[in-house]
Structure 1
C-alpha cells in the first residue's frame, strides 16, 4: 500500500480542495496504461458523488497542479467516485466499514493464498483482521497490497 512521491504531493494539494467542498479524498493514483499516464483522484461523500462534483474538483485542482508542476510530462487528470468496491486506505476507513465484507490482497502468499474474503473486523495492531468462516485471520498491514469492499448482491 505504498504511494509514490507524486501521489503524496497530489494528495497534499487535493485534501484541502476536496474537504472544503464537503467531500472525502479516498485515494490518488498515478499510473501508466499503455502509452499514457493517468492521475486519478477518487472522491466520495455520504450521498454519493455526481458528475458535477467531479468536474468542480478537477477545475479547482487543475490550476494548482499546473502551478506546482509535479509531473514533468503529459498526463490525463481524472476525478471520480471510488465505486462500490472502494479501497480502504485510512484507519478511519477500517473502523467505518467494520462488519462489511472485504477482499484483501497481499503482495506474496500467506498460508498459500494471496486473496482473502471475509467480514472486516478492523485494523488492529497494524494488522487487517477479517472473519472467515467463524475464524479471525490477521494479515500484517505491510504484507497487504489492497483492501476493497466486496460487492454483495
Structure 2
C-alpha cells in the first residue's frame, strides 16, 4: 500500500515495523529520499497511507494501532542493497554475529562493496587501515555519526 504513494513522490521505503510497545501497537514506516525527508513530506505520506489503510477491505491490520511515518534518521539501518550502495564513502557501524580480530563491533568509512564482502577504512590513533568483512557475517549495519 505504501509503495505507490512513495513512488509518486520519488521517495523510498527505508524500513517498516509493526511492534507492540507498552499497551499499544505501532505501525512505523520509515521513508527517505536523496537529500532527506521533511516533516511535511512525512505528514503527507502518513495522511495518504492512513486513508488507504482505512479504506482497505478486509482490514489488513485488524487490531487498533498507531501509524507513525518518519524519516530514516541520521543513523538509519542499512538493509537493502541500495542502502549499502548509497552508503559507500560514508561512516558506518557494523555488528557481527561472531568476533573478527577479537571484536564484534566496528566503525569506519565504507570503502568498497561486493556481492559477498564489504571493506571498511578504519582509523585508529596512528593510522587508517582496511578491514574486509564477509557480508553474511554482518548481523546489523547502519549509518553512524563520526566523533
CA distance in 2, matches of 1:56, 1:117: 35
Aligned position for 2:10: 22
Q: CA deviation at 1:122?
A: 4.2
Q: What TM-score do you get using the length of structure 2 for normalisation?
A: 0.80
Structure whose CA Rg is larger: 2
Aligned pairs, number: 139
Unaligned runs of at least 5 residues, structure 1 = 1-12
TM-score with structure 1 length normalisation? 0.78
Segments of 5+ residues of structure 2 without an aligned counterpart are 123-127
- Once residues 146 and 70 of structure 1 are traced to their aligned partners in structure 2, the CA distance between those partners, rounded to angstroms, is 29
The Cα offsets for residues 42-76 of structure 1, whole Å up to 9 and x where unpaired, read as: 11123332221111101111122231522231111
2:142 is the counterpart of 1:148: yes
Compare the two structures and name the one with the higher helix fraction. Answer: 1
**Please, which of 84, 93, 115 is the counterpart of residue 94 of structure 1?**
84
Report deviation, 1:93. 1.8
C-alpha RMSD of the superposition: 2.1
Q: Which runs of 4+ in 1 moved over 6 A?
A: none
